[in-house]
Structure 1
């Protein structure tokens, strides 16, 4: 049967590979058809969602209601817009794109489904006519198919919609075309046409559904049959073969998955997506790493289970006896250290090859990727802990060496490692010290005894292992944070030392484009009678953002002839500038923009932007901007969503401070750190500054050299409470995983089979009573504090917005009255935005944009010129003064404050100020991290303290029960001492009942003693009579025989008298022996109950037979410490001697008598075995061995074993035997050990 299953499994694995190979190499039979079906499926679903939104609109906008933003605002699935019959926009649900009504076909060729193509993109739309109150409205619903936004970054995605199309190999058409495929609805309605060109791949995968179903069926079959096959082998004791087959099956399945890139090439599963994590061929994704770790854990668990079996441990103990103990200690320590190394590297592997960090800073963005990463780390850490426990269990099982010797070997191995790690890396030192603490705890407290059984010590062992694992991963997390920080600082330093401002290039390219398209500037330049100063002012105030505060700006305006019309005294002509700077050595990626590096003089880096101005095809002059860098600025309010991804690598953390030194002389510094401190010069001379950085004054400093220039980049050191929070977070996570797997284990094995003792249940209840309320309180505290911080953050936003409103109100009022023109008002908006380091948008009272400090957001089609519909409802319709809203553009989430500007008298709305806070989410995350780190540190600290306290409390509460147990074990009919309990609590009542029981037992003992004495005397009398009758009968017969001889007259014959008289003398000797035996028994003192060293008793008894001529007595002493036992040492000595004598006497004459005496300990008991090589005890005699007066020998009273049994059981021990006829008999004695207080314990 097993052979058949083995063949089926092998065949199934081969067939799995064949199925994936067919699917891998053949692909889908018709990509074009599959692509069209997928497009139709998606667009039909969108059409259904259009209908759902339309129904919701009709429910909100009933005929009796007036149209308003408040009425129409609801969570629609897709953007929609309402127009009047003449095309006037009345409502918009989104401000990312608003279609022009001219692009909507509402004429004779009207179609309900249309393609709208504009400068923002291509949209699938649904157009409907609505009649309300005799008014006709047009409702336009849109769904993006292709986005034409000019920016492509992590927030904005340019190109095709990934949910509809697999790549960009397609062409869309609003009208049907012969060679195009029609995309239609469920009822056949026409949507649009699409041409899928060669190379188009549908969304998703290239797999055959039938083949994949077959593959999964085969996989399930292999796992079911393979698992059952391995379980059968395991249960039959063929564990090595089961392990071999398990490895073969798991390795085969993983190899097939890796070769054919399953499932990443077949399904869109983020867990198996290499863009999130990829480290090697074996781990191309996080899912693959998870499978590899799980499969490795299965194999390791089987191996540990094999090593934990008693026969393996005993066999290994025999091997240990042949070699020095320190060799095995060293091997165990090295293997444990190797697993520690694997555990540590597992963390660094995940951290270095993934898109996320595993520390407290990532808690606000915690997702299932990080949860799975922690699960992987837990499995790795569990393997490290379990292997360490099992290897030490193998080494220390019945080891002759003391714990102190093992710890000395550990210290001897660890000392050089500690010195090396302390010299090279403090992180490795912390990790190895935690490893040593784990080993010392395991050895000192014998934690390896708690592995394969569920009790209180088992949980404490696992919790301690979780704490050590948390310290290891916390240290690894801190090391990873430091490496990332150094990398960031090195990148920033190289960029600055490279003296290239990529951000400035990006911004100047936009400025140059906008200036060349500005009609006001062109009109000023074409009119020779008008001053050109307004041109310079507009460029400075409107186009030059506050990023360029680090530059000194000089603007030159040249006529077509090359004359400077701004400064006639300027001796530099346009040709001079072109000749000097317009060459390839200074060229940038932006046309007509040149960058000149600073030399050894005081002059900084320079940008020269040449902007030829053209109007109606005529060249009207040139504007030149000269920007001389004064210092490098690390911050900018320029929104992230305007930054293209090609510039992302050149943007660095604004929290970094830095300073540039040339020949140890400070050139400039940015940030709050004081680089003028004389101690900084010492840093420059320290080589560690340029390797791993140095900590000084609460900052971490890292330096980069470039010739005579040195840049020091600084940042606040990672807070100590964050370091502790990392450890606490991992500790809580590991404990949660431990409890989860224990619950799974209990469910799989049956809850009835998993039973805990009283101490364990008490510990659980105590910890549960603490853990749950603490967890609830922590969660509530985090929620309340986060809410409080959020409210405070909103208050700060409103305060800043009100300051801007107060400063902007007078200018808007002047612009409304015509006192100030639009350009002047726009200049004031720019000035205020630069001053407050914010982005400002001003909308009119009808919701249209009047001015903005970031026109690129509008010009690059990121947003439209319309007010947020929710803000429209709150500010304009509801007449609220201010509101803060959550907004999102692409995937960038932020908060925006809207605040109204009203007239002083009539309070009419003049406009609405919109101020986006792009850093709001990051600021809130920082606050959450602060709160969470504080609470989790307190939580873990209290939890650990309470765990320790509850352990001792539970121990104290269970000690009376242990004392009662000990007392009950030695309770007999002799000396029983009552217990004392100081309080009258539940235990006191139990002790009182126990003492009452002793009193009753004493009364019963006295009654029983009298009865026993009477019975004993009767039995004694019977035995004496029996024993005396035996010799009296032959004596009587002899005397009668002598009388008969006398009567016959033959009494004088000496020969005839000799034999009868000799027989009578023998019988008298027998009577004398009987009398002596009973006299000795009568004189035997009562057994004492005193503390003794049982090992010494055994040694003394065996010593008597050291030179015995009857046979050989061998003693094996397998204990390493005193054996405190309560009893009578003399009685025990006689019992042992009697057993040895019996053993020697039971050996036939054809054998050399050998008695083996073995002394061992097991937990709280000691056991003595007396084994002989005699004839054994026949079956019919085995039930009578301990009966008084029974003996298998011709001589003896038969009282020896009876007395032995009575004495052993009186002391609370047990005595039994095992025998094999013809081979020998083993007598076993077990006694409970008395727990002794440790020296120095109170």
Structure 2
């Protein structure tokens, strides 16, 4: 059987995708442990020397040392130290006659300065490992602390990992070595004093990846997705539209469920995006990265539906029946309304169950996770638009007039208005209804002249809805946090609550 050119191209896409993924996975075989250790340990050494230089410059300045002795009584100078040094991962404790006077962090509180030697050394305490730089001046002792590695009292899991300090190294494959380890990279201070050794973690292949591997894997997934998109489009053009749509949906559903359960992508590339400590909502969205991939998969499938929206048709006997047409309109209207409630709950969880900064007023300080969340929000609004347009398109041939459609819409809006008056009235559903009305007007009337005004109103409505919901969600989150802190203040067993409340 002779294959057509189009079929050959489709299968080449599949072969290319599988080859890219196989290449990405096999690249680990060509990188040795020694190379990885040397590469990541050198970064730790460089960053640590930079921090030591900052501390040495401080200690060589007698005026700064004199200021440090007054930090416990001069709040302005103490706050100046916090602003300048703590962002670099450098903390300070001052002692007078071995009694603690000032501390810039509450993470370390059980140090006895008399047990620490002068100069540079490493201490190992309950919550982590730190380099200590000790300077004695008269009856005052200055202890500078540089975090090296976290340490949890519970066994390591996906939530608690004993990783290197983020300001020292972003590597997830190295850890401090013990006396019995062989392949070790020695970390030394500026005066060539041995501080500690680094080694590769056991099972490092599960955590190690390069940017090349990541992009090869992503490119492979995209090629496979394009293959299925092209295959389903071919099936749809041959008259099996519903089967093609269900096949494409099954591809995405199976792909996402297997990834969530078996981690063929998010476990292979332990990106920060997939860290449940940043965001976790449910079994289907255990991380922000999974949330993004779910939304991307849903958007791609809806775009497939949108591109074939003219082909979706009801049987002629359904098109001729007035009552069936009205019922279909009601069902679709309720469906789009339910989506609004679902999205409302979804993004409340994104704000309430995450550590992501959504303060878009200071746009320059938004993190990568913040931008990912904004992209997710835009894609979800786009999905609602696609669902609305497709719903409108498949109802155009029904035996229902635009006047009857308008009456149904107004009746539904009135019912929702009364329901919200009784429960929790907000402007969100009013603006949401206006969005649906504008999209419906554009689609049903099919105006020949493109209306910039209507499009501007549409974007303004989406931005306004996003804004009022964000303000409400933020207020709810802040109230819950204040309530928790207030309860802690009432407990005499939690002295750190007062400190947390003052932040």
For residues 738-784 of structure 1, give each alpha carbon's deviation from its aligned partner in whole angstroms, at most 9, with x where no partner exists: xxxxxxxxxxxxxxxxxxxxxxxxxxxxxxxxxxxxxxxxxxxxxxx
* Pair 1:381 & 2:378 matched: no
CA gap 1:223/1:145 in 2 versus in 1, 3 angstroms? closer
Cα distance in 1 between the residues matched to 2:261 and 2:118: 53
* Residue 497 (structure 2) aligned to one of 640, 650, 653: 640
Q: 1:4 aligns with which of 8, 18, 39?
A: 8
- Give secondary structure in 1 for the equivalent of 2:493: helix
SS at match of 1:426: coil
Say which of 326, 344, 348 aligns to 1:347: 344
Over 3 Å counting, the alpha-carbon distance change for 1:181 and 1:67 in structure 2 is farther
Query: Cα distance, 1:304 vs. partner?
Result: 1.9
User: Partner residue of 1:258?
Assistant: 260
1:115 correspondence with 2:130 = no
Q: Which residue of 1 aligns with 2:147?
A: 144
Match of 1:303 in 2: 305
Deviation of 1:45 (Å): 2.1
State the distance in 1 between where 2:126 and 2:403 align.
81
Alignment of 1:1093-1104 (within 5 A): none
- 1:17–1:442 distance in 2 versus 1, CA, 3 Å: closer
Preserved contact between residue 326 and residue 406 of structure 1 (Cα < 8 Å): no
Structure 2 unaligned residues grouped into runs of 5+? 69-79, 136-140, 154-159
Quick one: structure 1 residues 392 and 51, their matched pair in 2 at CA, closer, same or farther if it must change by over 3 Å? closer
Greater RCO (Cα-Cα under 8 Å, separation 6 or more): 2
Closer/same/farther in 2, CA of residues 99 and 48 from structure 1, 3 Å limit: farther
1:145-294 correspondence runs (5 A): 145=148, 162-163=165-166, 183-185=185-187, 191-193=194-196, 206-209=206-209, 213=212, 216-224=215-223, 227=226, 230=229, 238=237, 240=241, 247=249, 250-251=252-253, 253-255=255-257, 257-261=259-263, 263-294=265-296
Give, in whole Å, the separation in 2 of the partners of 1:116 and 1:243. Answer: 61
Contact 2:273 2:289 in 1 (8 A): yes
Following superposition, the deviation at residue 457 of structure 1 comes to 1.4
Paired position in structure 1 for 2:72: none
Q: Which residue of 2 aligns with 1:614?
A: none
* Contact 1:122–1:144 (Cα < 8 Å) also in 2: yes
Provide the rounded CA distance (Å) in 2 between the counterparts of 1:93 and 1:481. Answer: 34
Q: Tell me if 1:103 matches 2:128.
A: no
What is the rounded CA distance, in whole Å, between the counterparts of 2:117 and 2:485 in structure 1? Answer: 50
Partners in 1 of 2:51 and 2:356 — Cα distance? 42
TM-score by length of 2: 0.63
Q: Distance in 1 between matches of 2:422 and 2:35?
A: 59
- Give the one of 426, 429, 451 matched to 2:424: 426
Residue 460 of structure 1: how far off its partner (Å): 1.5
Any residues of structure 2 matched to 1:200-599 within 5 Å, and which? 206-209=206-209, 213=212, 216-224=215-223, 227=226, 230=229, 238=237, 240=241, 247=249, 250-251=252-253, 253-255=255-257, 257-261=259-263, 263-307=265-309, 309=310, 312=311, 319=316, 322-352=319-349, 354-356=352-354, 367-368=366-367, 369-396=369-396, 402-411=401-410, 421-422=419-420, 425-427=423-425, 434=431, 436-438=433-435, 445-449=441-445, 456-457=450-451, 460-461=454-455, 463-464=457-458, 466-467=460-461, 470-471=464-465, 474=468, 478=472, 503-506=490-493
Name the CA shift for 1:248/1:426 in 2 (closer, same or farther; >3 Å): closer
Please tell me whether the aligned partners of residues 20 and 217 of structure 2 are also in contact (alpha carbons under 8 angstroms): yes
1:43 CA drift (Å): 4.0
Residue 131 of structure 2: aligned partner: 124
CA contact (8 A) 2:123 2:129 kept: yes
Counterpart-to-counterpart distance in 2, 1:474 and 1:246 = 36
- 1:242–1:251 CA distance, 2 compared to 1 (3 A): same
Tell me, in whole angstroms, the C-alpha distance in 1 between the residues paired with 2:162 and 2:22. Answer: 38
Q: Determine which structure has more spread, i.e. the larger CA radius of gyration.
A: 1
Q: What's the C-alpha RMSD, in Å, of the aligned pairs?
A: 6.2
CA contact (8 A) 2:174 2:199 kept: no
Q: CA separation in 2, counterparts of 1:167 and 1:207?
A: 6
1:226-269 superposed Cα distances (whole Å, 9 cap, x missing partner): 53885698699939598677656645653553344255434453
Using the size of structure 1 for normalisation, the TM-score is: 0.30
Cα contact 1:264–1:272 (8 A) shared by 2: yes
1:450–1:461 CA contact under 8 A, matched in 2:
no
- Shift of the 19–504 alpha-carbon distance from structure 1 to 2, 3 Å rule, reads same
Contact kept, 8 Å, 1:243 with 1:303, in 2: the verdict is: yes
Q: Over residues 1163-1182 of structure 1, what are the superposed CA-to-partner deviations in whole Å (9 max), with x where a residue is unaligned?
A: xxxxxxxxxxxxxxxxxxxx
Alignment match, 2:77 = none
Deviation at residue 404 of structure 1 after TM alignment: 2.8
Task: Give the CA deviation at 1:291.
Answer: 1.8
Return closer, same or farther for 1:485/1:325 CA change in 2, 3 Å cut-off: farther
Cα distance 1:422–1:168, how it changes in 2: closer, same or farther (>3 A)?
A: same
Query: What is the SS of the residue equivalent to 2:285?
Result: coil
- Check 1:121–1:294 CA distance in 2 against 1; reply closer, same or farther (3 A cut): closer
1:469 CA displacement: 7.5
- Give the 3-state SS of the residue equivalent to 2:146 in structure 1: strand
Q: CA deviation at 1:124?
A: 3.1
8 Å Cα contact 1:278-1:285 kept in structure 2: yes
* 2:46 equivalent in structure 1: 45
Q: Secondary structure at the match of 1:124?
A: strand
CA deviation after TM superposition for structure 1 residue 282, in Å: 2.7
8 Å contact from structure 1 (residues 347, 473) kept in 2: no
Deviation at 1:348, TM superposition (A): 0.9
Alpha-carbon distance between aligned partners in 2 of 1:380 and 1:120, rounded to the nearest angstrom = 41
| Contact kept? 1:330, 1:410, Cα under 8 Å | no
Change (3 A) 1:234 1:2: same
Question: Are the counterparts in 2 of residues 273 and 285 from structure 1 also a CA contact under 8 Å?
Answer: yes
Between the aligned partners of 1:103 and 1:267, the Cα distance in structure 2 is: 40
Maintained 8 Å contact 1:146/1:159: yes
* CA–CA separation in structure 1 for the residues paired with 2:471 and 2:118: 59
Cα shift at 1:345: 1.1
Check whether the contact 1:122–1:145 (CA below 8 A) recurs between aligned residues. Answer: yes
Residue 263 of structure 2 aligns to a residue in which SS? coil
Deviations 1:705-737 (A, max 9, x none): xxxxxxxxxxxxxxxxxxxxxxxxxxxxxxxxx
Q: How many pairs does the alignment contain?
A: 456
**Partners of 1:402 and 1:485 in 2: how far apart?**
49
| Cα deviation code 1:606-656 (max 9, x no counterpart) | xxxxxxxxxxxxxxxxxxxxxxxxxxxxxxxx66376xxxxxxxxxxxxxx
Residue 350 of structure 1 deviates from its aligned partner by: 3.2
Separation in structure 2 between the aligned mates of residue 247 and residue 158 of structure 1, nearest angstrom: 36
Residue 294 of structure 1 deviates from its aligned partner by 2.1
Distance 1:375 1:403, change over 3 A: same
